[in-house]
Amino acid sequence: MTEQLWSPAKVADVLIRAEDSGVAQTSILAEWDGLDLAAAYEAQDIALQMRISRGERVTGVKLGVTSKAKQRQVGVDSPSTAWLTDAMILPIGEPVPREKMRKKSPAPTTSSMTVTWSPSTSTRRRV
C-beta of residue 34 within 8 angstroms of C-beta of residue 6: yes
Distance CA 88, CA 60 (A): 10
* pLDDT tens figures, 69-102: 999 998 889 999 999 999 988 888 888 887 777 6
pLDDT confidence tier of residue 103, bands split at 50, 70 and 90:
low
Q: Which helix (H) or strand (E) holds 48?
A: helix 37-53
Ordered structural domains, the chain, with CATH: 3-126 (3.90.850.10)
For the chain, report the end-to-end CA distance as a whole number of angstroms: 27
Average pLDDT, the chain: 81
Asked which of 27-41, 44-58, 60-74, 86-100 is least confident by mean pLDDT, the reply is: 86-100
Where in 3-127 does DSSP place strands (E)? 58-64, 80-85, 113-117, 122-126
